[in-house]
Amino acid sequence: MILLIILASAVCAFLLFLALQVRQYSRPVEKLPQLIPIDLEAFAALTDPEEETFLQGNLPTREFRLVQRGRIRALKPYLSAFSHNASALIVAGQSARYHADAQVAASGVEIIQRAVRLKIWCGLSLVRLNSAIVFPALSSPSSEIARPYRLLTGMALDLTDKSAI
Amino acid sequence: MNYSQLIWLYRYLWFAPHLLLLLVAAVMFRRKLHKQYPIFFSYLIFEFLQFCVLYSMSYLKAPIGVYVKADLLDRIGGAVLHFGMIQELFAVALMFLGPVKNQMTRILRWVTIALIVLGSLFGWGLCYSSLKPGAFPTYWSIEPLQVAICALLFLVFLWHRFLGIRMPTLSFGIALGMGLVASVDLLLFALKMFIVFGSGMKYHLVNMAAYQLAVLIWLYFALVPEHIDTRSHASLPQLRKQAAELGRVAQL
């Protein structure tokens, strides 16, 4: 009986979800999402592995954990901003895909590809950050984030060069 | 509504959607959408052919055992094609992933298998605990697949929402129609334990009406031209600005 009630409730929720999708799909979108400015120096400081090593070496374990949790929490809004910017670029890229100019269309597809990867990267990093809040000493967010972020930097700069041609 | 009216409604709901499926296929063929959605196109043809076979068997008064087997084959074939159609829906979003596309496709395949297994466990749990095993044991094997289909469709919508990619018009229609049919089927499956549907015809009628609605949805979305988002007007300078902004944002 309980399983039946669960099934019926889940299906009703899914039908409601479908109705919401129809409503959202038919609603015209007002404007292009704007990019959020990000303080990159502060982000670099928060993801600096050397700073983390320094803190770990100079603070008692209990205090380090507290500080590290604070640093991890401070990183979350940055990742949300990156994710938002990736969404804005996906919208721009989607518009460009249908452009008559083949070069613009190709740039649009490339922007989508890179922005989608950035978006996935942000999602995965948020998951990592959440686990790092639980185990701040075991899972270092700085080293985890810095590596893929450097890769992303290269990708984004490459994209800028290509679209400037 | 008396019995003869119900019979006429039953016949209408059996014939009309299957004839409309042909119309959907014709529209797709004319708009060359069958190249983009080959599995969905195959499904339309498969369902129509199965309808012809089942109707012929019914007309020729074939033995009930043979008819049930053919019907079950139709449902299993339809369910398998549904999973293919869901892969098609994901493929549209995955094509933007470039190098990581193969990894994501592999993950998606495992998620599908996991959902089928979970759905099956849930279905068997229902059969052997609260329900009356033996009522429709053959058809109960279909319900776990419907659970998996609903879950996968939920993921399709979530995936597009997460990435911020607008679903292509027909993809949205396919997902909507499939979701409607699968969820109404599951809801009725759950409700028939609480509500007495009499001879079972009303139960079938609701299911068939949902299918009719789904086919109309597919027809509508096959006819509607693709929505092109021109909010940014796709100008090269704007794209440069956007890309430069990403570079600035990403620069350490």
Contact B207, A28 (CB under 8 A): no
- Residue range B202-224: average pLDDT? 90
CB contact, 8 Å: A78 with chain B?
Answer: no
- pTM, two decimal places: 0.76
Residues 6+ apart with CB under 8 A from B203: B188, B192, B197
Mean pLDDT of A44-71: 82
CB contact under 8 Å between B239 and A104, yes or no, is yes
How far away is chain A from the Cα of B136, in angstroms, using its nearest Cα? 16
| Number of folded domains that form chain A | 1
pLDDT value at B208 more than 50: yes
Q: Which of B147, B163, B250 is the closest to A90 by Cβ? A: B163
Please tell me the predicted confidence (pLDDT) of residue B237: 59
C-alpha of A149 from chain center: 11
Q: Is residue A57 part of a domain?
A: yes
Select from B164, B184, B194 the Cβ nearest to the Cβ of A91. Answer: B164
pLDDT in tens, B76-115: 888 889 888 988 888 776 776 666 677 777 777 888 888 8
Task: Work out the mean pLDDT of chain A and round it to a whole number.
Answer: 74
* Domain at B106, CATH number: 1.20.1070
Sign of CA dihedral B232, B234, B236, B242: positive
CB pairs under 8 A between A and B: 177
Residue A144 structural domain:
36-164
Q: Domain for residue B179, yes or no?
A: yes
> What CA–CA distance (Å, rounded) separates A85 from B97?
17
- Smallest Cβ–Cβ distance between A111 and the set B122, B164, B242 belongs to B242
What is the rounded distance in angstroms from the CA atom of residue B106 to the CA atom of residue B95? Answer: 14
Tell me the two tokens of residue A115: 């922005």
Q: Is the pLDDT of residue A143 over 50?
A: no
Per-residue pLDDT, B251: 47
- How far is B87 from B148, CA to CA, in rounded Å? 13
CB contact under 8 A, A29 and B231: yes
The alpha-helical segments, DSSP class H, found in chain B are 3-30, 38-59, 64-94, 101-128, 137-140, 143-163, 169-191, 201-223, 236-250
On whether residue B246 sits in a domain, the answer given is: no
A59 found inside a domain: yes
Q: Per residue in A12-33, pLDDT tens?
A: 888 888 888 888 887 766 566 6
pLDDT digits (tens, 9 = 90+) for A60-75: 888 888 888 888 888 8
Say how many domains are in chain B.
1
Six token digits for residue B59 = 């007309």
* Degrees to nearest 5, angle at CA A97 with A92 and A101: 110
Find the closest chain A residue to B178 by CA distance: A18
**Contacts B191 to A, Cβ<8 Å:** 8
Angle at A32 between CA A26 and CA A36, to 5 degrees: 130
pLDDT of residue B24 exceeding 60: yes
Residue A23 in domain: no
- Tell me chain A's radius of gyration from C-alpha atoms: 21
Residues A83-96 have a mean pLDDT of 77
For residue A65, is it within any domain? yes
Percent of chain A with pLDDT over 70: 76
The answer to the question of residue B20 being in a domain is yes
Position B28 scores a pLDDT of 93
Q: Which residue has the higher pLDDT, B103 or A80?
A: A80
Residue B139 pLDDT: 56
Residue range B39-81, pLDDT digits in tens: 999 999 999 999 999 888 888 888 888 888 888 888 888 888 9
Closest CA relative to residue B74, chosen from B119, B43, B40:
B43
Q: Does B243 reside within a domain? A: no
What residue of B is the nearest CA neighbor of A47? B252
Going by pLDDT thresholds of 50, 70 and 90, the confidence category of residue B209 is: very high
User: Residue B6: its pLDDT value, please?
Assistant: 79
Does residue B144 lie in a domain region?
Answer: yes
Mean pLDDT to the nearest integer, B30-46: 92
**Greatest mean pLDDT among A127-141, B5-19, B134-148, B206-220:** B206-220
**pLDDT given at position B145:** 79
ipTM: 0.71
Tell me, yes or no, whether B160 lies in a domain. yes
Contact between A4 and B204 under an 8 Å Cβ cutoff? The reply is: no
Checking if the pLDDT of A103 tops 80, the result is no
As a whole number, the mean pLDDT across chain B is: 79
**DSSP states of A99-152:** -SSHHHHHHHHHHHHHHHHHHHHHHHHHHHHHHHHHSTTTS-HHHHHHHHHHHH
Instruction: Compare all CA atoms of chain A with the CA of B122 and give the residue at the minimum distance.
Output: A3
Whether A153 and chain B come into contact, CB under 8 Å, resolves to yes
Choose among A18, A4, A10: nearest CA to B153.
A18
Q: Please indicate, yes or no, if residue A112 is contained in any of the structural domains.
A: yes
Comparing CB atoms, the residue among A7, A17, A89 nearest residue B190 is: A7
**Confidence at residue B231, expressed as pLDDT on a 0 to 100 scale:** 54
Q: Which residue from B219, B228, B225, B177 is spatially nearest to B27, judged by alpha carbons?
A: B219
Name the residue among A8, A25, A35 with its Cβ closest to that of B187. Answer: A8
Q: Which residues 15-44 on chain A approach chain B with CB closer than 8 angstroms?
A: 15, 17-18, 21-22, 25, 29, 31-32, 35, 38, 40, 43-44
Query: What value does the mean pLDDT take over residues A81-100?
Result: 76
Of B138-142, B148-152, B161-165, give the range with the top mean pLDDT. Answer: B148-152
